[in-house]
Amino acid sequence: MDTNKLLEISKWIRYQILLSTTTARSGHPTTSLSATDLMAVLFFNNHFRFLIQNPKHPNNDRLIFSKGHASPLFYALWAAAGAIEEKELLTLRKFNSRLEGHPTPKFPYAEAATGSLGQGLSIGLGMALNAKYLDKLPYNTYVLLGDGELVEGQVWEAAELAVHYKLNNLIAIIDINRLGQSGATLHQWDLKSYQAKFDSFGWKSIIIDGHNFEQIDKAYTNVQLSAEQPVVILAKTKKGKGVSFIENREGWHGKPLSQDELKTAILEIGPLKKISPSLLQPENLKPKKTKITHQNISLDRSKPLATRKAYGLALIHAVQNHPEIVALDGETRNSTYSETFMNAYPERFFEMYIAEQNMIGTAAGLAGRGKIPFVSTFAAFLTRSHDQIRMSQYSCSNIKICGSHAGVSIGEDGSSQMGLEDIAMFTSVLDSVVLYPADATATIKLVDLAAKYQGIVYIRTTRSDTIHLYTDKDSFKIGGSQTLKSSLKDSVSIITGGITLHEALKAYELLKQENIYLRIIDIYSIKPIDIDTLQKAHDETTAIITVEDHYPCGGLGTAVNQALSSLKNRKPIYQLSVTKIPKSGTPDELLRFEEIDKTAIVKKVRTILD
């Protein structure tokens, strides 16, 4: 090991961290300085294998900065490796720069968007799972975490699953610099407390001085000797290392140096030597080719079938054309029916247990390595992972999420199990797609469309068995709809989807007996929505009623109102939705209680026409 060379590289990186943040007049220099030595040894002492010319090379080691606020270090590290020019570092945090305040994939060497703390280890877990169980490649995944974020529960969700899946290719590097944003961290420099936690989960732990090159190098070397355990390197560091007047001082988080302070710091760092270090080259192995055995699926349309039950069949159908599909479930597989897929393709299924935040992060990691993860749990439980979903949009993650047991129609389980905010949550994500199948055939076709779509897709499924409305000949598209009942006599349009579509069809039959005709539209694509069909319904009928098993804000009714908001002389749009705190009962009782059943629809139509 050439200690002098590593020292010069670290000095150069520290200089760039300070210069770029002072130039930007913002950023996090001190938290970058604390981890500089750890990253310099990883990159430039024959540990990290990476082909600079091809960031997506399947054999590249992966590096995730879970502590994304250390982005000045991240960018300087890649500049030292020759991936970007030194002058680009001075564009840090500028409007058109790739070097954002926290890393995103706009910078091609960033594996994912990070900065919402606690999420990086889950993303790394997904990439490590891919290497070990899917691609069967020897790359390692390194995740740099700050000590402050170890209070986040998601970190320990990931830690537990990493041991369960024996991920000896996952290495967590903890930068224990003692200081958080507003003061000292929970355990400060009590490394034994951190070690006890990781040891209790079953990790191999290594304690080092994070500024001692020999100890750092030895730790990375020992990583390769781990049999079937993930490894954590617990590094004692100093925030602001290398600049005496900010080293281990409170009050410097997220605070760049002034120009005068920068001059003092540069003098302290000392003269720089021009060094052009290089990275180890990765092996040139090909990912294991996926072989999908063909399996036929069939529907018995003489018997009602819940859309949640059709979901598992839909995955089996979709994987025939999309072999990159993998399924993850939050220990609800016998309710979401992802177990149907698991039984058919066990090697492409990962049980994530009751840890929804980690499950979404893991899915983002798998998507980052080219897989198409389908994630499933109850719609209600997805709300706790909204931040992870939000961050996935910044990673441009190609993930699909199925929320089952949506709405009050789940019945006796009661309010805690009812997904009533899920449509609002997912429509708020930019460029997301929200699909709501009303029968088994629609589920199969919409899951296939979801697999084809590049981006985040939410699929909402229902607990109750429902009759079949569609055949294989019916076509679906993202942004489409189906008009199930239509005539020149239509007086009111009913815009609905999922379980309440079946109630609308019952209402149609009741009112038809009174010579009152309804236009019934299945708006199975809530986002994007079929504006043309909605406008036609608006123009050709006297009013619109939206019906949904969801709270009024942010649901189907909101989507319809928004789609038609620009119309002049807009006709009335009435909304039937869940407006009372739900309770236990039968599905029929609850639909009646919330006034979203056939009786409520009939009553509303009569009121409008009267």
pLDDT digits (tens, 9 = 90+) for 241-250: 999 999 999 9
| Alpha-carbon dihedral sign for residues 147, 150, 152, 158 | positive
State the Cα–Cα distance between residues 74 and 69, nearest whole angstrom: 9
**What's the CATH fold of domain 482-609?**
Rossmann fold (3.40.50)
Q: What are the angstrom distances between the C-alpha of 258 and each of 92, 176, 240, 318, 324?
A: 16, 26, 15, 57, 50
Structure tokens at 280: 């180890």
Instruction: Please compute the mean of the pLDDT values over residues 438-442 and round it to a whole number.
Output: 98
Exposure string (b/e) for 553-587, b if CB count within 10 Å is 16 or more?
Answer: ebbbbbbbeebbeeeeeeeebebbbbeeebeeeeb
State the Cα–Cα distance between residues 429 and 420, nearest whole angstrom: 17
Dihedral class, residue 492 (left if φ above 0, else alpha if ψ from -120 to 50, else beta)? beta
pLDDT digits (tens, 9 = 90+) for 216-240: 999 999 998 778 999 999 999 999 9
Would you say the pTM of this structure is higher than 0.85?
Answer: yes
Instruction: Indicate whether 594 pLDDT > 90.
Output: yes
Q: Which stretch of DSSP H or E encloses residue 484?
A: strand 482-485
Instruction: Please compute the mean of the pLDDT values over residues 493-522 and round it to a whole number.
Output: 98
CATH 3.30.70.270 is right for the domain spanning 307-460: no
pLDDT at 226: 72
Instruction: Indicate whether 534 pLDDT > 80.
Output: yes
Instruction: Please compute the mean of the pLDDT values over residues 335-342 and round it to a whole number.
Output: 98
Higher pLDDT, 275 or 1: 275
pLDDT at 1: 75
| Spatial contact of 375 and 400, defined as CB atoms under 8 Å apart | yes
pLDDT at 296: 87
Q: How confident is the model at residue 604 (pLDDT cuts 50, 70, 90)?
A: very high
What is the greatest pairwise CA distance in the chain? 91
* Cβ contacts of 96 within 8 Å, gap of 6 or more: none
pLDDT digits (tens, 9 = 90+) for 24-68: 999 999 999 999 999 999 999 999 999 999 999 999 999 999 999
From the candidates 157, 324, 356, 421, give the one annotated as an active-site residue. 356
State the Cα–Cα distance between residues 508 and 486, nearest whole angstrom: 11
Q: How confident is the model at residue 324 (pLDDT cuts 50, 70, 90)?
A: very high
pLDDT digits (tens, 9 = 90+) for 256-275: 999 999 999 999 999 999 78
DSSP characters over 238-307: -TTTT-TTTTT-TT-TT-PPPHHHHHHHHHHH---------PBPPP-PPPPPP----------TTS-B-H
Q: How confident is the model at residue 20 (pLDDT cuts 50, 70, 90)?
A: very high
pLDDT averaged over every residue in the chain: 97
Under DSSP, is residue 583 helix (H, G, I), strand (E, B) or coil? coil
Q: How confident is the model at residue 140 (pLDDT cuts 50, 70, 90)?
A: very high
Return the domain boundaries, the chain: 3-269, 307-460, 482-609
Active-site residue, 228 included: no
Q: How confident is the model at residue 276 (pLDDT cuts 50, 70, 90)?
A: confident
Fold match, 3-269 / 307-460:
yes
Instruction: Please compute the mean of the pLDDT values over residues 549-565 and round it to a whole number.
Output: 98
pLDDT at 517: 98
| 372-378: strand order across its sheet | 349-351, 325-329, 372-378, 400-404, 457-460, 433-435, 525-527
The total number of residues shown for the chain amounts to 610
* Cβ contacts of 433 within 8 Å, gap of 6 or more: 450, 453, 455, 456, 457, 458, 478, 525, 527, 528
Instruction: Please compute the mean of the pLDDT values over residues 373-384 and round it to a whole number.
Output: 98
| Spatial contact of 27 and 73, defined as CB atoms under 8 Å apart | no
pLDDT at 502: 99
Under DSSP, is residue 492 helix (H, G, I), strand (E, B) or coil? strand
pLDDT digits (tens, 9 = 90+) for 150-209: 999 999 999 999 999 999 999 999 999 999 999 999 999 999 999 999 999 999 999 999
Instruction: Indicate whether 98 pLDDT > 80.
Output: yes
40-43 long-range contacts (CB < 8 A, ≥24 apart) are: 40/6, 40/9, 40/10, 40/13, 40/77, 40/80, 41/6, 41/213, 41/216, 41/217, 41/220, 42/142, 42/173, 42/216, 42/220, 43/77, 43/80, 43/81, 43/277, 43/279
State the Cα–Cα distance between residues 479 and 534, nearest whole angstrom: 12
Under DSSP, is residue 550 helix (H, G, I), strand (E, B) or coil? coil
Instruction: Please compute the mean of the pLDDT values over residues 432-446 and round it to a whole number.
Output: 99
- State what percent of residues in the chain have pLDDT above 90: 96
pLDDT at 257: 97
Instruction: Indicate whether 16 pLDDT > 90.
Output: yes
CATH class of the region 3-269: alpha beta
Q: 249: closest CA among 342, 193, 325, 177? A: 177
DSSP characters over 110-136: -SS---STT-HHHHHHHHHHIIIIIS-
